[in-house]
Homo-oligomer: A and B are copies of this chain.
Amino acid sequence: MKVFIAGVDGYLGWSLAQYLVVRGHEVAGCDNYFRRDWVAEMGSQSATPIRRMTERLQAFRENFGTNLQFIRGDVTDYNFVWNFFRAFQPEAIVHLAENPSAPYSMIDVHHCVFTQVNNITGTLNILHAMRDVCPHAHLVKLGTMGEYGTPNIDIPEGFFEIEYRGRKDTLPFPRQAGSWYHQTKVHDSNNIMMACKIWGLRSTDIMQGVVYGTRIDEMGNDERLLTRFDFDQCFGTAINRFCAQAVIGHPLTPYGKGHQKRGFLPLRDSMQCLTIAIENPPKKGEYRVFNQFEEVYDLYELAIKVQKVGNGVRTKYRS
């Protein structure tokens, strides 16, 4: 299939391009390198070496014998999206070109507004370009388990059938996000659900837990193919920050009370889930939701676990 990845220079996008091309898909992508800029704004960088895009593309070609069709560009620019879709005619569009950081969106009003405007505008542009250029394509969008908040009832996949005052209906499950970033995912979900309904588009909204890992089998031993490992206060996930702290013998620093429970899944499971969704599109007009995580950890317990392994690593290197 012809798959377009928006945000192909990012953590998931770069991995997915490799995972898909090995499975025979034709992959194109775009990026504006914002993830590099945001992490630099935090005064940090990825612990794995992230090469310039020209080097990444060269490594891709050498390892997989085919090009990753890449154009630098921003999905908040409608003409850019329209032109790329027109030229490539994607069958699936994987939208990973959003700001993914809750702490970043909470820094101040400017980071809040930037995150909401950036994420919402990109998705609206993609929806309109799909309608105008490739209405049969399938939009695969990453949401987050965080859209649901922490209600006192079971969390279904997007929709639930309820009875209320004697009548029944199947309705979207209520969303209660806890950061401006998580709210953008809720806004996106609402916008995409409507576009599928009124324009007959098709979409899969994947509510993933926190993804971890920097390597999938497809990357082999080529360091240039590794994906990001961020450990700063905004783009480093809790597990990444714990790992970085443990390795250098720094005390581990969970946010808040530390007993938050979160769903996690390894990078290769994330790739597999995205690929299953891509290869099995929903029908015209359908908006479907997948929830995905491998295991739920209490952050404090996770910190203890990471610390133990980290102590082992440091002992090994010291000896």
Contact = CB atoms under 8 A, between A and B. Distances in A.
Contact of A169 (B153, B169, B180): B153
Interface residues of A, number: 44
A115 to B, nearest CB: 10
Interface string A75-86: 000100000000
A252 to B, nearest CB: 25
A274 interface: no
A165 B172 contact: no
Q: How many copies does the complex hold?
A: 2
Contacts of A180: 124, 191, 194
A164 B169 contact: no
B78 A110 contact: yes
Closest 6 A-B residue pairs measured CB to CB?
Answer: A109-B128, A152-B169, A171-B174, A153-B164, A172-B174, A187-B187
Interface of A: 78, 108-110, 112-113, 116-117, 120-121, 124-125, 128-129, 151-154, 160, 162-165, 167-169, 171-180, 183, 186-187, 190-191, 193-194, 198
24 contacts: A78-B109, A109-B125, A109-B128, A109-B129, A112-B124, A113-B124, A116-B191, A120-B120, A152-B169, A153-B163, A153-B165, A153-B171, A154-B164, A162-B164, A171-B176, A172-B175, A173-B174, A174-B174, A175-B190, A176-B194, A177-B190, A183-B187, A183-B194, A187-B190
